[in-house]
């Protein structure tokens, strides 16, 4: 726990320093005075929220923090266009603090990124993430928090911490014991945490069709594994976008879960989606059927195809039906990359 706290403190200091430099630039150049005051307040609150989870009995206070507002303010800062002379020193601080591997980036020159946000969302060279021939591959770079079968309609957030399937996905019209006709199917899950240094795009893990999108406005608390262990049902509180449909063996879903400073979740096939908007009310959800415009099968999502992206770090949750012979080819605690083997029949 001490090592985790020290790492989070170190990274929080570096990230805050970058935001402070960007804020100073905003003060001098582009942001009106009333907005600057709000940014200063948000920055101070953001620093407090970074430390709050590790204080004894502070979880209730942390859950009440205005994380949506903080993330919108963070989005203003990270999206602020930087002058060319400031790009290299500022972005180099981020690269150094989080040990970002810029050798994989399509654009290695830091001066080619106009903002912090562009660096977060950097594309990679096409050959650095080959797609494995297995039935299912890793959809995002990151750290596997948990994977395995879903039992009694309870999802495992981390070992020993569970939450209900319906509270995460909302009402569904499929049966947990369904699946391909004549074959007994189980429900499987995989949770992948994307750290700040990771590639922030997510890809299709298998060949499937996306038929439905459900957007849950919510909080934007940190999804760091240490915080996930500490707040039960955190993924049900945070803003998330559930893409659901079918693959060859039944129900399939991929959920992008937002986090602090990750209010913007982009889905490439859905330009109407807007996340972390002030007008959205927490505690409800917004549905959109892709069948209305994509045809009776839905939007095709070939294995390895890009599905979307978000800023900084976040979490991808896979939930899918599969035959009992399905087996995972990796394990919890492993660092993984897009395209590596996740499972096979």
Residue with tokens 């709050």: 52
CB 224 within 8 A of CB 196: no
The whole-angstrom distance between residue 69's C-alpha and the CA centroid of its chain comes to 18
Q: Report the catalytic residues.
A: 141, 203, 314
Higher pLDDT, 277 or 264: 264
Nearest to 342 by CA among 143, 187, 136, 129: 136
pLDDT at 294 exceeding the cut of 60: yes
CB proximity list for 58: less than 8 A, separation 6 or greater = 52
Each residue of 83-95: pLDDT tens digit? 999 999 999 998 9
CB proximity list for 193: less than 8 A, separation 6 or greater = 142, 143, 144, 145, 223, 224, 225, 228, 313, 314, 315
35-39, 96-100, 333-337, range with the lowest pLDDT: 35-39
CB proximity list for 155: less than 8 A, separation 6 or greater = 162, 163, 164, 165, 168, 189, 235, 319
pLDDT at 233: 65
Mean pLDDT of 305-312: 87
**The two three-digit tokens of residue 106, written as one number:** 């399509």
Percentages (nearest 5) of helix, strand, coil residues in the chain:
30, 30, 40
Question: How is residue 285 annotated by DSSP?
Answer: -
């Amino acid at each position: 726990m001490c090592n985790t706290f020290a790492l989070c403190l170190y990274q929080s200091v570096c990230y805050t320093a970058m935001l402070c430099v960007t804020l100073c630039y905003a003060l001098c150049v582009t942001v009106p005075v009333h907005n600057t005051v709000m940014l200063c307040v948000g920055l101070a609150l953001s620093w407090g929220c970074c430390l709050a989870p590790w204080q004894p009995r502070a979880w209730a206070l942390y859950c009440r923090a205005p994380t949506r507002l903080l993330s919108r303010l963070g989005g203003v800062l990270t999206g602020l266009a930087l002058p060319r002379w400031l790009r290299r020193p500022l972005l180099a601080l981020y690269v150094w603090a989080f040990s970002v591997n810029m050798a994989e980036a399509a654009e290695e020159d830091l001066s080619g990124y106009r903002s912090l946000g562009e660096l977060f969302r950097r594309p990679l060279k096409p050959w650095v993430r080959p797609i494995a021939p297995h039935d299912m591959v890793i959809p995002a770079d990151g750290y596997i928090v948990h994977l395995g079968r879903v039992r009694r309609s309870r999802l495992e957030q981390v070992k020993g911490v569970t939450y209900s399937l319906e509270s995460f996905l909302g009402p569904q019209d499929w049966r947990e014991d369904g699946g391909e006709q004549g074959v007994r199917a189980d429900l499987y899950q995989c949770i992948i945490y994307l750290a700040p240094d990771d590639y922030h795009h997510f890809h299709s893990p298998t060949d499937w069709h996306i038929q439905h999108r459900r957007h849950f406005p919510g909080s934007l608390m940190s999804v760091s594994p240490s915080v996930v262990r500490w707040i039960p049902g955190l993924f049900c509180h945070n803003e998330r976008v559930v893409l659901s449909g079918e693959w060859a063996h039944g129900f399939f879903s991929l959920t992008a879960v937002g986090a602090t400073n990750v209010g913007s979740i982009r889905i490439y096939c859905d330009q109407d989606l807007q996340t972390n908007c002030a007008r959205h009310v927490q505690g409800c959800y917004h549905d959109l059927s892709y069948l209305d415009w994509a045809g009776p099968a839905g939007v095709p999502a070939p294995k390895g195809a890009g599905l979307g992206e978000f800023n900084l770090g976040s979490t991808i949750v896979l939930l899918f039906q599969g035959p009992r012979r399905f087996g995972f080819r990796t394990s919890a605690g492993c660092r993984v990359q897009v395209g590596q083997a996740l499972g096979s029949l």
